[in-house]
Amino acid sequence: MKYRQDIRNIAIIAHVDHGKTTLVDQLLKQSGTFRSNEHVEDRAMDSNEIERERGITILAKNTAIFYKDTKINILDTPGHADFGGEVERILKMVDGVLLIVDAFEGCMPQTRFVLKKALEENLTPIVVVNKIDRDAARPEEVIDEVLDLFIELGANEEQLEFPVIYASGINGTASKDPLKQEENMQTLFDAIIEHIPAPTDNREQGLQFQVALLDYNDYVGRIGIGRIFRGTMKVGQQVALMKLDGTVKQFRVTKLFGFFGLKRQEIKEAFAGDLVAVSGMEDINVGETVCPIEHQEPLTPLRIDEPTLQMTFLVNNSPFAGREGKYITSRKIEERLNNQLQTDVSLRVKNTDSPDAWIVSGRGELHLSILIENMRREGFELQVSKPEVIVKEIDGMRCEPVERVQIDIPEEFTGGVMESIGERKGELIDMVNNGNGQVRLTFMIPARGLIGYTTEFMTLTHGYGILNHSFDSYKPMQAGQVGGRRQGVLVSIETGKVSTYGIIQVEDRGTIFVEPGTEIYEGMIVGEHNRENDLGVNITKLKQMTNMRSATKDQTQSMKKPRIMTLEEALEYLNDDEYCEVTPQSIRLRKKILNKSEREKVAKKKKYESLN
């Protein structure tokens, strides 16, 4: 069997924030892929604005570098559980992985998740212990942890013989010795060439190309990105697209792109082992196979992660609708959601009885909140409901998604965290005391128990806790309410501008969410109540001006700092009878029914129905 020694295909996998993207930056810079006078931004692979702000990779990216005479295709994968589906599909396109592990944090939940997928695909691993320059680095212990994880996940003997490279992505250095770094990353380049298998060269056989990722471009429409597993693909070639539903469509390859550095370049032909992007197929989807018309042989379809969380997206109908956004109509919102479906395969959009509402399902809170944040930045105005988990019927039983949660906290917060997760029906499955005052707890918890938990967790651990979770499985639904907000809210009974005097009058009733001068409307949530019931308040009230001199005139009152929520916090905070109004400039929480007396009527009716 012939192999293509001029090419290597690898994926970079790791937990969030273990330095994947920074490491890729250094590989790009040191391989000479850029001209010496070319400016390269840090974290060049994170091209999306939100990715750059948050320092997370959301979309899988591919790049290609040249080292000596070999082209190395590198796929940078997301580390967050909500984007696990992307990781899984990318692993189908490569022959080996660089598993990056932080020299201090060691193995984390996503390390486990991505490594499990890589071992299932029988890929060759290289372990890179990154951030070796950290003061608290503990490389020997981390390698022991990695080895234990490999054994636990059922790695075969070949996979257990993984090479280890110690690196510092930020300094651009690597070596085989944990105590001494070389001056560049040559050791890592050499390890990739030596250990990652070269792809099979079977270009004379019939074409097999499988789509793993989608892109969209207004000029050429849908673009399928994937790997040629067999044969040759040329521009102008007539081919058959084997659809997932068993149908076959014929089309012509209009454009073919190869990857060079961070750019895509048009090419005329590509061979087995190449990663390419193809246009010319209107309705190409992830997992579909492109073959010659006369030799139709589909590859095994790729598994796409099912959504586990859903929300209702609605046209904004608040009293302030249309003030701040550019796109406010149902037609525009529906168009935008359908555009998102072109590239996001884990997303589902379902119409409802109302033309102004859609049920949008995704992989998790982060997945959906990033879609909302992108829409908001593009000038959309909309409302969204509380996120709900998707319940499935399995063998006649109602089942719900269960998450595996790993928590790292200082020892003194253990009791409080265990109690709070116990209240949310979480089950402790492992507890490890690291001996340095840190404890690692592992729980299984229903996904609905995690909705809204992050803020409570951060308060409980004074910001020192780290919480990570990944989807585990569907299990029979637990009875009773899990999680949810316990406190009631302060709801405005007036429309107008918030006054300092108005806030001072009510701030002993709870925590205020708005600043003086903010415009508010009747039915808008302006704070959290100290108690479990909702309370109507007027915080637009102005101080009465009189010519009577007050006995306490010279005493000044100071106002507490209001709690301003991010989009994620606002979505987590919502209750069933509330919406989050999202515009390019504001995030407002509101009651579904704005009028106080109408709300009370509905509440009475519900209470009456439940008693009978």
- The letter for the amino acid at 556 is T
- Please indicate if the annotation marks 63 as binding a ligand: no
Q: How far is CA 41 from the centre of its chain?
A: 23
Query: Is residue 606 part of an annotated ligand binding site?
Result: no
Answer whether 115's CB lies under 8 Å from 99's CB.
yes
Separation of alpha carbons 174 and 578, rounded Å: 52
Write out the two tokens for 576.
């069933």
* 99-123 burial code (b ≥16 CB/10 A, e <16): bbbbbbbbbbbbbbbbbbbbbeeeb
Dihedral of the alpha carbons of 377, 378, 380, 384, in degrees to the nearest 10: -50
Distance CA 175, CA 587 (A): 48
Tokens for 484? 């949810």
Does 131 show up as a binding residue in the annotation? yes
How open is the CA angle 183-188-193, to the nearest 5 degrees? 135
130 in a labelled binding site: yes
* Cα atoms found within 13 Å of the Cα of residue 134, Cβ hemisphere only: 19
Q: Is 132 annotated as a binding residue?
A: yes
Contact 139, 175 (CB under 8 A): no
Q: Is 293 annotated as a binding residue?
A: no
DSSP string, 118-172: HHHTTPEEEEEEE-TTSTT--HHHHHHHHHHHHHHTT--HHHHT--EEEEETTTT
Does 17 show up as a binding residue in the annotation? yes
Which amino acid appears at position 157 of this protein? E
Shortest CA distance to 471 belongs to which of 436, 445, 495? 445
Check the annotation: does 408 bind a ligand. no
* Bridge pairing between strands 578-582 and 587-591: antiparallel
3 state DSSP class of 190: helix
430 is in an annotated binding site: no
- Answer yes or no: is 523 a known binding residue: no
H/E segment holding residue 97 = strand 96-102
Phi, psi of 601 (to 5 degrees): -60, -45
3-state DSSP call for residue 23?
Answer: helix
**Would you say 205 and 228 are in contact if contact means Cβ atoms under 8 Å apart?**
no
Query: How far apart are the C-alpha atoms of 568 and 458, rounded to whole Å?
Result: 14
Question: What is the DSSP annotation of 290-351?
Answer: EEETTS--PPPPPP-PPP-EEEEEEE--STTTTSS-SB-SHHHHHHHHHHHHHH-TT-EEEE
* Amino acid identity, position 443: F
Of the candidates 448, 479, 424, the one whose C-alpha atom is nearest the C-alpha of residue 364 is: 448
Measured between alpha carbons, how far is 383 from 587 in angstroms, rounded to an integer?
A: 10
Annotated binding site: 17-22, 130-133
Annotated binding site for GTP: 17-22, 130-133
